[in-house]
Amino acid sequence: MRQPPRGSAGLLLAVLSALTFATSGTFARSLIDAGWSAEAAVVVRVGLAALVLLAPAVLALRGRWSLLRRNAASITAFGLLGVALAQVCFFNAVRYLPVGVALMLEYLAVVVVVGWMWLAHGQRPRRLTVAGSIVALAGLGLVLDLAGAGRLDPVGVLWGLGAAVGLAGYFVLAGRMDANLPSVVLASGGMAVGAGVLLLLGLVGLLPLRAYTGPVDFAGQRTSWLVPVAGLVLVAAVLAYLTGVVSTRLLGARLASFVGLTEVMFAVLIAWLVLAELPTVVQLAGGALIVAGVALVRLDEPRETPTVEQDQKPALATRG
């Protein structure tokens, strides 16, 4: 049976979003290795991206400023949780972990969403969901190489799990936002909030903001710092967030988060091609189990097309 155009467009945009988001760790690693702090990389990435999308966002509103006022709290929550928390935690995770492993941890967000919906909304998981969560946790054990001699840095693991919480919030909030709010406004506004908060915390000394404007190593070449910054802003932020928000609103938070798992595979491939960095066989097997576990969780979801009313129900009692 032919898939509806809405679903096809959503799936294509979700895969494109996953591919472009997958480049962020590789771009950021070259900056961090050159002396940038993870927080500075996030501020530059989302701050400049918000500026790039500012003009399209203003045009999309076309004088409907009441939409912005009405959704100010939701946009702020999206910026704090889905942008600032998710990106700071992920970029700090790649300081200690391979990019692919950091992403495998981040995408435990799908299990976080299931737990939140149970605790906050009484949606008790069914058998396949429980089985999928167990499989995903077993995969996490392999990713962490708990039985091996070379265990992963626990600091990096904690950062990766923090990124999972932020990513869970990103999917739920994007999928349940006011349907009348243009996606470009949500993307630009959320990134502006995230960048602004992080910049403020950096200026008062609570977060390290270090940047290096000399040559950096990227893809085996010595190049200008502007090259990875341009990639972070235009590819891994502007294109990634915009397509991600649109696809999540078309597909709903749960299906979009499932398709988003392809980011792990794209990131592993990109890190291998650009950084010559690949997880161990055991860790790859763990990543496969995480994906399989999430697939079981998704199979247990009701087979229904997300509606505007469903997507607008409050999560986080206001994305969870």
Q: What is the mean pLDDT of the segment spanning 202-225?
A: 90
Q: What is the pLDDT of residue 257?
A: 75
Q: What percent of the chain has pLDDT over 90?
A: 37
Given pLDDT bands bounded at 50, 70 and 90, which one contains residue 189?
very high
Q: What is the pLDDT of residue 3?
A: 45
Q: What is the pLDDT of residue 311?
A: 39
Q: Which of 273 and 53 is assigned the larger pLDDT?
A: 53
CA quadruple 107, 111, 116, 117: dihedral sign = positive
Given pLDDT bands bounded at 50, 70 and 90, which one contains residue 315?
very low
Burial of 276 (0-12, 13-18, 19+ CB in 10 A): exposed
The torsion defined by the Cα of 319, 204, 233 and 264, in degrees rounded to 10, comes to: -50
CB 126 within 8 A of CB 300: yes
Q: What is the pLDDT of residue 152?
A: 78
Position 148 pLDDT exceeds 80: no
Q: What is the pLDDT of residue 319?
A: 32
What is the maximal distance between C-alpha atoms in the chain?
60
What's the pTM value of the predicted model, to 2 decimals?
Answer: 0.76
Q: What is the pLDDT of residue 320?
A: 30
Position 110 pLDDT exceeds 50: yes
Residues 6+ apart with CB under 8 A from 221: none
Q: What is the mean pLDDT of the segment spanning 260-265?
A: 76
Given pLDDT bands bounded at 50, 70 and 90, which one contains residue 1?
very low
